[in-house]
Structure 1
Amino acid sequence: MASQLYCNFLHLNKTVTPTFTDKPTELAHIEKQLHQLNHHISNLFELRSALLHRSNQLTSPVYIVPHEVLSYILNQAHEMKWLRPPPHNRQSIIPLQKAIVLSAVSRQWRQVAFGTSKLWENVECQGSRQLYKDSSMIIQHCATYATSLNISLYTQGHMLDAADDPDVIITALSTSDVRRKLKSLKNTCCELSPQWIQLLPSFLRLESLAIYGGNYPNIDLGSLPLSWVSLSGATFESLTLPPSVQVLNLKDHSARLSIALLYNCPRLIKFTSQPGPYSKAIIPSSPLVLDTLKKLMWSPAQSFVEAASATKLEIPVIERLELSDSDKLQCAPFTVLCHQISASLEHLTLKSFSLYNESSEFWQQFFKFPIPKLRKLSLVDWEHNVMTPAILALTPGEDEDGYRDRSLPNLEYLCINSLGFYDGPYSFDSKVLELVKRRRIGEDSPFHLDFSFSFQDYGGVQATWRPEIMQEFQEFLANRPVEITMAGWEVTLDQLTRLVQ
């Protein structure tokens, strides 16, 4: 291209003037010269750009960074969160986009990027009209340069090209590189053939698995090193998980599957179960011991009570229990069960309790026995007429020493949150004041109180407080280490006054 620096047009022989017999011939000659000149000018611009680029390479630190320093930078870039420029700066750039951007800086950067495994480990495939075709190529590329793979496939909310064949994804997942390197798989591609599930036992390093939707045949994953599993709306004729599973999340599944998998996974630390609306519990016959389980979330609460009673469930180190939906909940077995596991319990959450449990006697009985280690109690999304007796049950009587003998001696966080339509005054203000005063909250240690009583038919407006009660509430808490929040939002006592009056 250097020869293009020398141009015959700059050395025209002005003493020689061509002659033409007619104007069309002369015009044709001029047009030819102009075309040649324009082409030459274009080449000069291209040459200028190339020379400037090379000059930058020779002088810019970006292009002369030592290999080991650049490798360190790219490894750190993998951990950083990048945001798009305005107006999309709330959208983060996914890891694979970072890898592509960094590898495009220069040849050296590309070589170092290809040698930086972490840049290619996280493969998120979404948002393309040819999702399966594009994802297949991306997976194969990343499998070449990564030492381990975390693959996520998303199709929800995207219009796909009719010619896009989902089977190419199965082909990509079947390659030897992917089988050897895959550690995490998240699949929301319900359009995939159910046969893809048969590939799972061949991913010998698979530790994390999430499946959303789909109907699948029998599958045995007992030989895999899985530690984290999430199944949402996925049904199986039968499913076997390995005993290595520590976290198991089940949603919109059959209760039969839930119980069976608990027997599969004796080392569980966290378990979440939310069966489908028409799922009937299958009562097992043998005892169930989960002596490592620390966190349990189950809905509806009654199915947990039934399963725990039938299996003689033992969860000796349970620290956090969250139960939702009190539909058909039987009070006595529920109370007995909660007190049986109370020795280690530190955080209890009861969500969406309604008319079935509105009696004062039930909550008086429930809070009668101590839960010695309980630090956090959350009563969330209750109906107003259920919350009222619960608050009264948590409030020591006038003849009780609310500080010395209260049933929850280590309580440091209390959330009382109810919502519903207005059907008469509930006097939440006086009830909360009595609770705070008689329990002597904040007397010797910090305390966090979160409350919200909203009326849906008034646009979610909070129940009002009478001025004299609010003043007494403020005076009582004025010099105490008590944090007040409303539905999770931090408020000062002055702000609280404006919100509830």
Structure 2
Amino acid sequence: MVPQLYCDFLQPDTTARHTFTVKPTELAYINEHLHHLNHHISNLIELRSALLHRSNQLTSPTYIVPHEVLSHIFNQANQMEWRSPQQAIVLSAVSRQWRQVALGTSKLWERVICQGPLKLYRDSSLLIQHCASYASSLDIRLLEQGYKLGAADKTFDTTTTVLSSSDVKGKLKALELQRIPSPQWIHMLPSFLRLESLSIISGHHPSVDLSSLPLSHVYLNGSTFDSLILPPSVLVLHLDDYFLDYAVILLRKCPRLIEFSSETYILTRAQLPPNLSNPLALNSLEKLVWYPAQWFMELASATGLNIPVINNLELKDSEGLKPAPFALLCHQISASLESLTLTYFSANDDWSIADLRHLFTFPIPTLRKLSLTDWSHRLILNAICALTPDEGEDGYTDRCLPKLEYLSISSQDEIFGLEFDFDYRVLNLVKRRRIGEDSPFHLDFSFCSDDDADYEAQAAWQPELLHELKEFVANRPVTITIKGGEVELDQLSTARFDDGDCSS
């Protein structure tokens, strides 16, 4: 805000009306008026300066362009040699007024991204040093070519020195490291006493104890440790390409987790730690994502997993997943479950209509969102049948999952075949469940053929069935989308959509 500055206007000059018989008296009178005039001018200059400064602030891109955008632009100035000039900007090239405002805006310097060719990476320490001088907190990402730095490289020493400086240590809140060049950087981690978010991608690292840090978010992708101790403050933990036994060890160190995901493409049997006598209690966990799903089932069975407030469960890859134990698990957590996503159920899995109906018809009183995505054509038709009330049932009072307000069903297979009557099955589901009768409903579906590499062919609807669907939902609060994207129902009569037309 502009400071409240005031100055009195100079009073009218009455010198001419006075007759001074003594020169010193006249001089004193004039000096007094000069003093008032100088004070007036000084106040006006100060007010003008304050108004100009505020005007510069309000017209500066710092106030007009979001901080995230400007921060990205300034980071790219460090990568001019491998980007076209139109994609980067040099701070010295902008106006002095903008520089003043920019340097005084802490948020512009919080994110530091170091990436690109090795020569540019060598200059990154200067960027980190600069940002540490002007930011109140730091989010540093050391990516890509940094792993080519050697411990004997002068650049490594310079970067290490900057990272271990008091400016960085006192401000670093988020750190992402990719292909760490030396164990020395791992040993530095406990010294970042304000660190809240940590991402480490790839590599095997020495033991490190992070229990004294205020970490809340941890992401580990293909990175292993001789020993890793996480603090109990961790709320979000993401693991990619980890063995099951290692995931269990880390889970036990994070009792306050509210979100956990584990995805692995390691083609081996799940291995569990030898000592599982104590149940695994994650009493605050609200969201869980696991791939492959069978590993999660083995974990839950072996550890007596307790997740009493889970509301979002996402499981991928049904290979080895047995219907009965999985249905039992869902029923055990049904009191809090609001969203269930099951992905990649293949034609090799023997999930009958009866198996799926057992899963869906057992009371899950709070489930509002169900997503069955990327299934085989045969299994998705089984699922649609399991969700559809029988002819003798009341579709309103007898329907399973009574609180459901979002349903996503999709399949992708090599060919459709004449036996895949998706349009008839979906129409039956909509009508018998009386969708949209008592509350808004969102139905998303996609039935694709992947036999053409250039596009996905959507299953076409018969005109009479499409007309019946349109009539049924015409006056109901029902939203229909294809793979998350809005579509005119008339388009369903065409045989295919481009990817851009059927995805969000």
C-alpha deviation, 1:118, in angstroms = 2.1
Whole-angstrom distance in 2 between the partners of 1:462 and 1:112:
53
The verdict on how the C-alpha distance between 1:422 and 1:111 changes in structure 2, with shifts beyond 3 A counting, is closer
Aligned residue among 475, 491, 496 for 2:492: 496
Name the residue aligned to 1:18: none
CA contact (8 A) 2:441 2:477 kept: yes
Aligned to 2:143: 154
Which residue is 1:410 aligned to? 403
State the match for 1:24 in structure 2: none
Q: How far did residue 272 of structure 1 move?
A: 0.6
**1:383 aligned partner:** 376
- Does 2:471 align with 1:475? yes
Aligned counterpart, 1:337: 329
C-alpha contact (below 8 Å) 1:128/1:134 kept by paired residues: no
Q: Label 1:130 to 1:78 Cα distance change in 2 as closer, same or farther (>3 A).
A: farther
Q: What is the alpha-carbon distance in structure 2 between the residues aligned to residue 367 and residue 346 of structure 1?
A: 13
What TM-score results when the alignment is normalised by the length of structure 2? 0.79
Partner of 2:103: 114
1:240 has 2:240 as partner = no
1:350 correspondence with 2:350:
no
Q: Which residue of 1 aligns with 2:365?
A: 372
2:448 maps to which residue? Answer: 454
1:414 match: secondary structure: strand
Q: CA deviation at 1:386?
A: 1.2
Cα distance, 1:467 vs structure 2? 2.1
Partner of 1:302: 294
Task: Give the one of 66, 69, 85 matched to 1:79.
Answer: 66
C-alpha distance 405-185 of structure 1, shift in aligned 2 (>3 A): same
Matches within 5 A, 1:406-445: 406-422=399-415, 424-425=417-418, 426-445=420-439
Deviation (angstroms), 1:311: 1.6
Q: Secondary structure at the match of 1:495?
A: helix
Q: Measure, in 1, the Cα distance between the counterparts of 2:180 and 2:227.
A: 21
In the TM superposition, residue 100 of structure 1 has moved relative to its aligned partner by 7.3
Partners of 1:445 and 1:341 in 2: CA distance: 25
| Contact 1:315–1:341 (Cα < 8 Å) also in 2 | yes
Q: Which amino acid aligns with 1:467?
A: P
Give aligned pairs, total.
432
Assess if the C-alpha contact under 8 Å between 1:167 and 1:193 holds in 2: no
Letter in 2 for 1:433: L
Q: Extract unaligned runs of 5+ from structure 2.
A: 1-48, 79-87, 498-504
Distance 1:360 1:118, change over 3 A: same
Secondary structure of 1:471's counterpart equals helix
The Cα of 1:378 is off from its aligned counterpart by: 0.4
Alignment of 1:124-163 (within 5 A): 124-155=113-144
Shift of 1:95: 5.9
Aligned AA (2:475) = N
Contact 2:62 2:98 in 1 (8 A): no
| C-alpha contact 1:381 1:419 (8 A) present in aligned 2 | yes
Q: Which amino acid aligns with 1:281?
A: Q
Task: Give the drift of 1:481.
Answer: 1.4
1:465 is displaced (CA, Å) by 2.0
Cα distance in structure 2, aligned partners of 1:236 and 1:160 = 21
CA drift at 1:480: 1.4
CA shift for structure 1 position 495: 2.4
1:222 match: 211
1:464 is aligned, of 450, 460, 463, to 460
**In 2: Cα distance, 1:352 partner to 1:250 partner:** 20
For residues 26-45 of structure 1, give each alpha carbon's deviation from its aligned partner in whole angstroms, at most 9, with x where no partner exists. Answer: xxxxxxxxxxxxxxxxxxxx
Structure 2: how far apart are the matches of 1:110 and 1:457? 56
Q: How far off is 1:93 after superposition?
A: 2.9
Q: 2:392 aligns with which of 373, 396, 399?
A: 399
| 2:118–2:145 Cα contact (<8 Å) kept | no
Partner of 1:194: 183
**CA–CA separation in structure 2 for the residues paired with 1:149 and 1:385:** 51
Secondary structure, counterpart of 1:381 in structure 2: strand
Q: Give ranges in structure 1 of 5+ residues lacking alignment.
A: 1-62, 84-90
Match runs of 1:1-40 below 5 Å: none
2:283 corresponds to which of 281, 291, 297:
291
CA contact (8 A) 2:293 2:317 kept: yes
Instruction: Give, as a single letter, the amino acid of the residue that structure 2 aligns with 1:171.
Output: T
Show the counterpart of 2:73: 93
SS, match of residue 288 in structure 2: strand
Judged with a 3 Å threshold, the aligned counterparts in structure 2 of structure 1 residues 203 and 246 are, in CA distance, closer, same or farther, namely same
The answer on 1:180 being equivalent to 2:152 is: no
Q: Give the match's secondary structure for 1:210.
A: strand
Distance in 2 between the 1:82 and 1:182 partners?
21
Instruction: Work out whether residues 74 and 91 of structure 2, in 8 Å CA contact, stay in contact via their aligned partners in 1.
Output: no
Which one is further off, 154-163 or 343-352?
A: 154-163
Alignment identity in percent? 55
Cα drift, residue 92 of structure 1: 6.2
Provide the TM-score with structure 1 as the length reference: 0.79
User: Which whole-Å CA distance do the structure 2 matches of 1:159 and 1:203 have between them?
Assistant: 24
Q: 1:420 to 1:157 in 2, by over 3 A?
A: farther
1:387 CA drift (Å): 0.9
Moved more, 134-143 or 196-205: 134-143
Quote the residue 1:48 is aligned against: none
Deviation at 1:423?
Answer: 6.0
- Cα distance, 1:262 vs. partner? 1.0
Displacement of 1:74 in angstroms is 7.1
- Contact 1:130–1:164 (Cα < 8 Å) also in 2: no
Aligned residues of 1:322 and 1:349 also touching (Cα < 8 A) = yes
In structure 1, the residue matched to 2:30 is none
- The answer (yes or no) to whether the contact 1:96–1:119 under 8 Å persists in 2 is no
**Match of 1:318?**
310
